[in-house]
């Protein structure tokens, strides 16, 4: 049994009505505002939080800023275990907990293995499941893998689908889900971003301290599994050309801790002096990301959250994927798909740096994301479902 797992935790009150499950950095970023809104709406004891610890370090780093207590930490990750081991362990632990504690609702978010395990455990216990970020689809099981498959399977056992946008709602209805089971609520991941931007805890950063005398700032993040199959190598080749072509830009790349990312990147950029306009760093704490992002002129990323946050802050994004489940940002002209190999990256960069975004498109995206009020809407909906 994992060392940090406290069996049938005494910290979770038997009166807990809603169990909220997360395990990765983006799940915590998106669910923490929901947990806080629920605590305010129906009381602290009514909510219990479970972390699987799927992203151990990144979750701990994000937790420092998001102040959401974790009632039970399963800490499931151990060295060299298979994905099915992690899944089996997580479903077993959650199912045992739910069997004893019988929450009235289980909440999962997005498309991770943690969310899928939470969904299976609630299904096996016949506990109604709420899915946050329901209905994002590419309809290509391999892109992104395994997320597209996981979120489609979660939808099959979900009771209440909380779709971020009307487009996500339409996707669910095409799968036969009745409209009364779907609510469009925006994106709670934006709520904390809005709150932090309105009341920053630390002084704003100066752009010049980041660009070191250059005129433009480009932020990069990369971590998807599709990229491990040679795509990241191609991306690094394209990035080398881009760094040479855009010597007036400073490129900052907080590296994901996954060794499959770091080893490839270090191989391509072993000589610090060859590319003085590239800064490879440790992952930014979330609060720092939120303060740096609005200063950027462009983001290059394969991340889902960055596709939401960058355009929200009025920053264009080059999406290093073959397809996106957030087609609205492409349709609005706030993002561009460069493909998972990022062919002609340098031209894509020039295109965005030379053309300002349409301010109306930015406002449309901000409205689609809920403008910082998503978690309160979610808490109102869930409050009606519990005793
Ligand atoms: C297929 C897909 O799109 N799935 C997504 C995937 O999440 P992702 O791709 O968004 O994951 P990441 O990129 O790891 O996280 C992003 C967050 O991290 C912050 N950040 C980043 C770098 C850094 O140095 N410091 C930071 O603080 C950043 O601001 C942002 O908030 O799973 C989620 C969970 O289910 C889903 O919701 C989500 O759709």
**Quick check: is 101 in a domain?**
yes
CA 282 to ligand 1: nearest atom: 24
Task: State whether 216 and 355 are in the same domain.
Answer: yes
Is there a domain that residue 4 lies in?
no
- Tell me if 317 sits within 8 A of 335, measured CB to CB: yes
- Residue 12 domain-assigned? no
Write phi, then psi, for 245 (nearest 5 degrees). Answer: -70, -30
pLDDT given for residue 4 in this prediction: 40
* Ligand 1 pocket mutation, candidates 26, 60, 109, 293, criterion most atoms within 8 A of CB: 26
User: Do 276 and 348 belong together in one domain?
Assistant: yes
**Same domain (yes/no): 183, 211:** no
Q: Give me the tens of pLDDT residue by residue for the chain, a chain 387 residues long.
A: 333 444 445 556 666 899 999 999 999 999 999 999 999 999 999 999 999 998 888 888 888 888 899 999 999 988 888 889 999 999 999 999 999 999 999 999 999 999 999 999 999 999 999 999 999 999 999 999 999 999 999 999 999 999 999 999 999 999 999 999 999 999 999 999 999 888 877 777 889 999 999 999 999 999 988 778 889 999 999 999 999 999 999 999 999 999 999 999 999 999 888 999 999 999 999 999 999 999 999 999 999 999 999 999 999 999 999 999 999 999 999 999 999 999 999 999 999 998 899 999 999 999 999 999 999 999 999 999 999
**How far apart are the CA of 250 and the centre of ligand 1, in A?**
23
Q: What order of strands is seen across the sheet that includes strand 47-51?
A: 72-73, 47-51, 18-22, 105-109, 129-132, 160-163, 182-184
150 and 238, same structural domain? no
Give the containing element (helix H, strand E) for 160.
Answer: strand 160-163
Domain assignment of residue 10, yes or no: no
Same domain, 377 and 336: no
Pocket-testing residue among 64, 133, 303, ligand 1, by greatest number of atoms within 8 A of Cβ: 303
Does residue 11 sit within a domain? no
Q: Are residues 163 and 236 in the same domain?
A: no
**Max Cα distance, the chain (Å):** 63
* pTM given for the model: 0.95
pLDDT of residue 57: 86
Q: Which tokens hold the place of 329?
A: 């940002």
Asked if residue 196 is part of any domain, the answer here is no
Say whether both 273 and 353 belong to one domain. Answer: yes
Whether residues 181 and 32 share a domain: the answer is: yes
Is 240 domain-assigned? yes
DSSP class of 177: -
- Does residue 158 sit in the same domain as residue 218? no
Residue 353's CATH number: 3.40.50.2000
pLDDT of residue 202: 75
339 pocket-lining for ligand 1 (C-beta < 6 Å): no
Domain, as residue range, for 348 = 207-368
Amino acid 188: pLDDT: 98
Distance 63 CA to ligand 1 centre (A): 14
User: What atom in ligand 1 is closest to the CA of residue 27?
Assistant: 34
Pocket probe mutation, ligand 1, options 304, 328, 329, 369, max atoms within 8 Å of Cβ: 304
Residues 92 and 237 in one domain: no
Ligand 1 contact via 167 beta carbon (within 6 Å) = no
Protein residue closest via CA to atom 25 of ligand 1: 284
Residue 387 Cα to ligand 1 midpoint, Å, equals 33
Q: Do 165 and 237 reside in the same domain of the chain?
A: no
Which residue minimizes the CA distance to atom 30 of ligand 1? Answer: 305
205 closest CA partner among 305, 79, 83, 292: 292
The number of angstroms, rounded, from the C-alpha of 76 to the middle of its chain's C-alpha atoms is: 20
* 226 assigned to some structural domain: yes
Q: What is the pLDDT of residue 2?
A: 39
Task: State the Cα torsion 225-79-48-28 to the nearest 10°.
Answer: -30
What's the total number of domains in the chain?
2
Pocket test for ligand 1, best of 20, 23, 25, 284 (most atoms within 8 A of CB): 25
Residues 181 and 135 in one domain: yes
């Amino acid at each position: 049994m994992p060392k940090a797992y406290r069996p049938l935790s005494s910290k979770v009150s038997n009166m807990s009505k809603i169990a909220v499950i997360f395990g990765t950095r983006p799940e915590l970023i998106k669910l923490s505002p929901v947990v806080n809104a629920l605590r305010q709406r129906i009381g602290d004891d009514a909510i219990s939080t479970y972390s699987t610890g799927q992203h151990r370090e990144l979750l701990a780093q994000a937790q420092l800023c998001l102040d959401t207590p974790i009632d039970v930490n399963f800490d499931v990750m151990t060295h060299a275990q298979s994905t099915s081991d992690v899944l089996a362990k997580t479903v077993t632990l959650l199912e045992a907990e739910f069997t004893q504690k019988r929450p009235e609702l289980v909440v999962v978010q997005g498309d991770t293995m943690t969310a899928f395990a939470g969904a299976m455990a609630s299904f096996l216990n016949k506990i109604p499941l709420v899915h946050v970020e329901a209905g994002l689809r590419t309809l290509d099981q391999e892109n992104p893998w395994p997320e597209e498959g996981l979120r489609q399977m979660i939808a099959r056992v979900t009771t209440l689908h909380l779709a971020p946008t009307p487009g996500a709602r339409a996707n669910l209805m095409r799968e036969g889900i009745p409209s009364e089971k779907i609510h469009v609520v925006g994106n709670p991941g934006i709520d904390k971003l809005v709150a932090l931007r309105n009341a920053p805890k630390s002084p704003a950063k100066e752009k010049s301290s980041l660009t070191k005398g250059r005129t433009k700032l480009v932020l990069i993040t990369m971590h998807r599994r599709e990229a491990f199959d040679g795509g990241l190598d191609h991306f690094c080749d394209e990035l080398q050309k881009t760094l040479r072509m855009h010597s007036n830009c400073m490129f900052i790349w907080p590296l994901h801790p996954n060794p499959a990312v770091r080893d490839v990147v270090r191989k391509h950029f072993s000589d610090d002096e060859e590319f003085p306009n590239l800064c490879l760093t440790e992952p930014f704490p979330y609060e720092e990301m939120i303060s740096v992002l609005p200063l950027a002129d462009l983001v290059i990323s394969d991340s889902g959250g960055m596709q939401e946050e960058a355009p929200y802050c009025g920053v264009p994004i080059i999406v290093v994927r073959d397809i996106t489940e957030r087609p609205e940002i492409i349709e609005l002209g706030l993002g561009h798909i460069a493909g998972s190999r990022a062919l002609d990256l340098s031209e894509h960069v020039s295109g965005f740096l030379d053309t300002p975004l349409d301010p109306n498109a930015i406002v449309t995206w901000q409205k689609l994301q809920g403008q910082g009020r998503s978690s309160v809407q979610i808490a109102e909906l869930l409050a009606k479902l519990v005793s």
